[in-house]
Amino acid sequence: MTMTTNQERQYETAARYMDGEKVPLDTEEEAIVKDYSDDEKAVNPKLDAEMSSRESRRIRKKVHVLVRNLPRRTLRAFIIGLIVAIAFLLILWSLKYFKQGRRFNDDAGNQGIEHRTGKANIDNVD
């Protein structure tokens, strides 16, 4: 919906008036206010949603349960967060030791080859 600058200004003044500001209205702005009020008064009663007492009670009970269970929910979220954090740290720690262990094995393996090679050379001398 595109409006001219003049229409935009008229609607803005009408909106400010309906928001409670004391702004003078010209005849066109008055017509907008009247037309809008008519439409609002015709549609608003249809929008209202009546709540039965049973529904109202059920909603209130739901709010009660939600609010009362909040500390438990917070505690549960904290415990889950803690478990996830510990698991993550364990994975990081095990990765670190896995790498260290591999380096150790590699070093030991290399030493073994050197040892065997040395022995082989000695054998050759003999």
Partner 1 sequence: MDQKKLSRIIAQAKAGDTAAYESLMAAYQARLFGYFLRATGRQHDAEDLFGELVLRLVRNIKDYDEQGRFEAWLFRMAANLNRDRIRKLKARPATLSLSNGRDEEKSIGRNLPAAQPDVDAGLLSEELSLELHEALARLDDVTRDMILLRHFGEMSFKEISKEFHCPLGTALARIHRGLKMLRKFMNIPEGTR
Q: Would you tell me which residues interact with partner 1 (CB under 8 A)?
A: 1, 3, 7-12, 14-16, 18-20, 32, 35-36, 38-44, 46-52, 55-56, 59-60, 62-64, 66-68, 70
**How far, CA to CA in Å, does 65 sit from each of 57, 62, 68, 79?**
12, 5, 5, 21
Q: Which residue, 60 or 116, is less far from partner 1 as judged by CB?
A: 60
In the complex, minimum distance from the CB of residue 85 to partner 1, in angstroms, rounded to a whole number: 21
In the complex, minimum distance from the CB of residue 31 to partner 1, in angstroms, rounded to a whole number: 12
In the complex, minimum distance from the CB of residue 22 to partner 1, in angstroms, rounded to a whole number: 15
Q: Which residue, 50 or 126, is less far from partner 1 as judged by CB?
A: 50
Closest listed residue to residue 26, CA positions, set 5, 6, 41: 6
In this structure, is the dihedral angle defined by the CA atoms of residues 95, 97, 103 and 108, taken in order, positive or negative?
A: negative
Amino acid sitting at position 81: G
Question: Is 22:34 a contact under the CB 8 Å cutoff?
Answer: no
